[in-house]
Structure 1
Amino acid sequence: GALKMKEISYIYASGHPSAELKHGVIALVKPDMPSVFIAPDDAVFDKNVSNIEEVLARKGPVIAVTTEGRTELERLTEDVIYVPDCPSYLTPLLNVVPLQLLSYYTAVARGCDVDKPRNLAKSVTVE
């Protein structure tokens, strides 16, 4: 998600595991910088909710990508994007699609040429 955001919208973004929120990442939270959380219905869902609350306590807006049925995030976040429930090994594949769409529509809103991003090659040659 973060790479696609940088490539086509020219907005700096970085991805971090939720467990690292309090190790520096929290210092970057501010009202004009949304945090996007991937919070599937898994063993660390409650930890993700806790981290979302930490960001909100610092006035940071939050967008969440979560599993259909986890409606408790609607009361916490600016927006919730739902993905279908699936086996855990497919979760990354389903969660990346809304992130790519978020990047695409952000780029379009900024007037960026999404078909020809600047300074990108379609292939990389290793020398």
Structure 2
Amino acid sequence: MNHIAEKVRKLRESFQLTPVEFGKRIGMPSTHLIKIEKGEVIPDVDSLKFMSIVLNIDISYFDDEPNSNQKIELVDRQCLYDLTVDGKPITNFEREYIVRQIRLLREMKVGRLHE
């Protein structure tokens, strides 16, 4: 098993999710995720980058250090504020989506002057 396969599996296990649940969270078919975890497929950099954004971990978690004891920092798992839209509380999925969109927006602005 390659180190990325091991790290993806450990990451999924840290969220206590099945491959199907984890795949839905990161927007990847579970069959592809299982192949990654078995080391049959190596994910491209864009997939790892997207996974790190969605899960709010540093991309360096996937670095080439197979024995690294890096901790996965899970931030934003609980929102500080209860948000509502149209009088209904937003779901955890919606919160994660909002955070993901903000991160993508901020990433697009890298290198630009602050607005």
Q: Under a length normalisation based on structure 1, what TM-score does the superposition of the two structures give?
A: 0.27
Higher normalized strand content (fraction of residues) = 1
Q: Under a length normalisation based on structure 2, what TM-score does the superposition of the two structures give?
A: 0.29
Higher relative contact order (CA 8 A, sep 6+): 1
